[in-house]
Amino acid sequence: MAEHASSEPPLGFEHSYQSLPEHFYSRLSPEPVAQPQLLLLNEELVEAFSWDREMLRQRAAQWFSGNRLPGDASPIALAYAGDQFGQFVPQLGDGRAHLLGEVVDRQGKRYDLQLKGSGRTPYSRRGDGRACLAPMLREYLVSEAMHALGIPSSRSLAVVATGEWVMREQPLAGAVLTRVAASHLRVGTIQYFAARQDWSGVRMLAEYTLNRHYPEWCATTTPCLDLLQVVSDRQARLLAQWLQVGFIHGVMNTDNMTLSGETIDYGPCAFMDLYDPATVFSSIDHWGRYAYGNQPAMATWNLRRLAEALLPVIEAELPGQGRQRAQTILTTFPELLQEYWMQGMRDKLALPGKEAGDGALIEELLAIMYRGKADYTLTFRRLADALAAGERGVAEWCAAFTDPQEARQWFAEWLVRLREDRRSDAERVAALNGINPLYIPRNYLVEEALSAAVAGAWQPFQQLFRVLRNPFQEQEGMARYSAPPPASWGDYQTFCGT
């Protein structure tokens, strides 16, 4: 077990989750590793938590491998259940993760600090509790890129190599990721207690979640109904943002959907290149359940599972009314998601105000992109270039489609709608470039960077990371990082390695 030395300095941990009954989690320490080596440390997060940088660097390899722990750490593994590709599993839990505690940043926001790949727990089932280096680097890179894109997400503090091999199909280098999240409370956490008909546990968890994430709701007398309402809103916002950047989570099981409305668990995730709603990358998603275009339906499905888990307590909170109130939330969720998505797409096109024809304009562009085999990210980003460069720019934008004339007709319609307010074209260009990223974690660049890093060559990873930290501003000499994949790239699959 990890050495928890009282001589180790504290890191400022608090432990509010441990105020809940002990059957909500299991107390245990991480398993030590052979030769911990710090590979990555997120200096931005170190600053945000007001930690002593030198002190942390000296201890990071030991602390963030789990070999030793900060003096105020109190490691636990969380219990939860989940629907995995539609099949309910009543006990999942942190099978290879240890929550060390909660830290509060300079703005007073509370975050969990969790080690991932830190050894077996009571929830490991037949797993070894370990993680491989490449998937941990992938989560570090993509989670930080999502944060830079302005999308609610867990973040990554550190990656530590373990000096050990992890046995999968072949021996792979091991690593531990330190993840920072608003919390690790999931739809599956509620399901865990509901499956055991522990209704007092469901209510306690709802109250805790509201108090931690939604304090404006914490005085309510109907915590389970209100939790369903606020999670509905947060998930609708989050899904709309995923769709707007072409992000595909890849494994939207209920144990991967947070109650805080953050993106979490970057396993088989990827970003779409050519626009196609059927795009799916995950090697285990054989039927496209979590394809790009299915994500809204799957979010609705997950919310229904949350409602089912909360419903007995909701009915007790509001006798004779609870079921109908819950049903109303579920019925309106697709409309809410559509509303957030529409507003985000108006922003991506810099459309002023709201008009009835906006939906048709947006859908026609997407249809042209699909038929024209257009790159999702660059189609939107280059609208600003076309607007700024006049006819030459318009011709270049249209040339990216297999039917340039069809694209030109749409562009003309967009210009009429775009110029209905008094902004200058320069202001419109700035608005477009402020919402449409130039740089995303292109799948081929991510794989290139991971392969090099695992082989010990860190420059490609570090360069890609630097570019992705500033996704909206064109960076000199970085044109290859905005380019679509080469024709030789071919089909791409992701794997649930994290």
Q: Note the pLDDT of residue 302.
A: 98
- Could you tell me the pLDDT band of residue 364, with boundaries at 50, 70 and 90? very high
Q: Note the pLDDT of residue 218.
A: 85
pLDDT digits (tens, 9 = 90+) for 314-345: 999 999 999 999 999 999 999 999 999 999 99
Minimum mean pLDDT among 62-76, 162-176, 442-456, 484-498: which range? 484-498
d(CA 130, CA 373): 40
Q: Note the pLDDT of residue 169.
A: 86
Q: Note the pLDDT of residue 286.
A: 76
- Could you tell me the pLDDT band of residue 51, with boundaries at 50, 70 and 90? very high
* Domain range annotation of the chain: 16-184, 188-348
pLDDT digits (tens, 9 = 90+) for 91-103: 999 999 999 999 9
Mean pLDDT of 168-172: 91
pLDDT digits (tens, 9 = 90+) for 219-234: 899 999 999 999 999 9
Beta strand 270-271 with 155-167 is: unpaired
- Could you tell me the pLDDT band of residue 444, with boundaries at 50, 70 and 90? very high
- Catalytic residue among 83, 112, 226, 255, which? 255
Instruction: Please answer whether residues 103 and 416 qualify as being in contact, where contact means their C-beta atoms are separated by less than 8 angstroms.
Output: no
Residue 2 clears pLDDT 80, i.e. is over it? no
Q: Note the pLDDT of residue 440.
A: 98
Q: How many CB atoms lie within 10 A of CB 113?
A: 25
Is 255 labeled as catalytic in the residue annotation?
yes
pLDDT digits (tens, 9 = 90+) for 271-316: 999 999 999 987 777 788 999 999 999 999 999 999 999 999 999 9
Minimum mean pLDDT among 32-36, 283-287, 401-405: which range? 283-287
d(CA 110, CA 106): 10
Q: Which of 99, 109, 111 is nearest to 69 (CA)?
A: 99
Residue 351 clears pLDDT 80, i.e. is over it? yes
- Could you tell me the pLDDT band of residue 488, with boundaries at 50, 70 and 90? confident
Q: In the structure encoding, which two tokens stand for residue 194, read together?
A: 């509901």
Mean confidence (pLDDT) of the chain: 95
220, exposed or middle or buried, with CB in 10 Å at 0-12, 13-18, 19+?
A: middle
CA 222, 223, 224, 226 torsion: positive or negative?
A: positive
Mean pLDDT of 179-193: 98
Q: Note the pLDDT of residue 285.
A: 76
Residue 12 clears pLDDT 90, i.e. is over it? yes
pTM of the model: 0.95
Q: Note the pLDDT of residue 325.
A: 98
Q: Note the pLDDT of residue 3.
A: 55
The per-residue b/e assignment along 49-64, b for 16 or more CB within 10 angstroms, e otherwise, is bebeeeebeebbbbbb
Mean pLDDT of 480-490: 88
Residue 132 clears pLDDT 60, i.e. is over it? yes
